[in-house]
A and B are shown apart, each in its own frame.
Chain A
């Protein structure tokens, strides 16, 4: 399978009155057709900004200033607004966190659903409506013929998120970005929505970038995981390796902070001490330095790079602790290239 999306060291900056603020720095990951990657990390670590950067949906004062976003070999980081308009909703579409506010309250479901269909697929009004009803049925909305003429306030949060999914998938996108699609929903509805996304993924072979801070969702959905901290990817690997063999101290901290059903009743959950450094005041060296139990002197001054190590699967880590393994991997990789 070929690479569908290759995000390479992108840097997203916001222009503010007090100068530029870097929100995302050196974020890299790649994605094949039909594959699902989860971006995980705590609030404010740049997950959403990364996804909005891909879609060019940042505020007026935010932009990608470095790096490239190759989507089917086109660099989206350099795409114009007119080019992006053809891609948005067509090749790449997005579902947002808040189903309650993501639909326009004064337009009918049908109106909002057919807009994109008519724009990208050039359907006539009646064809688009028929197709929209079909999409609504596909995402499990009962009475789709009636719902299509209703306004969003008549629907529950879960139903609205289904409508959002129908809207996002209607033009058969190659990539779906889902920004915490289940965070605002209650647990039973969460499970339904995740099931639905899985089913649709299998049917259409759509690649998904799923943003979440819920490791349960990660275990359920992901092929690959990128753990983000303070605007950087600190660890990237497949989902099994991440849960079996997490390496980066931040990932380890995250794993330890999940309650587990087999834990003894009186066991306290561990938390990672301290808080995320502010975007205006990023440390020069490792960004996790203040909170890391293994912090060394060189972590303060020197910036660790995201590098691969030898493991069951492709596994990269941004930490000096694994320097030796990273060097081994590089050596082997270089030898392989020489011999081939």
Chain B
């Protein structure tokens, strides 16, 4: 991938972050972005949607469409870990499924409001900074934060540092697992609750 392409992505990414600010409220003002993400204005304003600016594109998690099958979790680990182990999945639904993301009103025992948690691919990643082994780095080719399994000692510092509780230490390998934005969860979500929209398309929608 060329340096020019990465630069373009970064510009788009910054523009996008300006539009969305800290949440998705800004998104509701842009019809073209809403259409691109397959969202209605009301959905964007409902609190059930999260958009994450990942290196590859925008990861849209739409709780209105998430029906709790947890296929994203198992698909993640089959592809990335070669085994079925939802506990270490980089996308997490089960913990929100029964009683909602806040553990109170939502979930299947409440109002059915729950949303998958995804890696934020943070601009200033706490996981990377917390790692005492320097095992987490920014992959040059696409900007994704990745874990060097050889350096990782499974200390759990990344898991503790992440404000969203996303990295998980695999107790069977004693290595941290972290989202590498492969998009497999989204590609196989049966309700389209997870979606990765490429930066090229985001750029076009914001043009």
A and B held together in a complex:
no
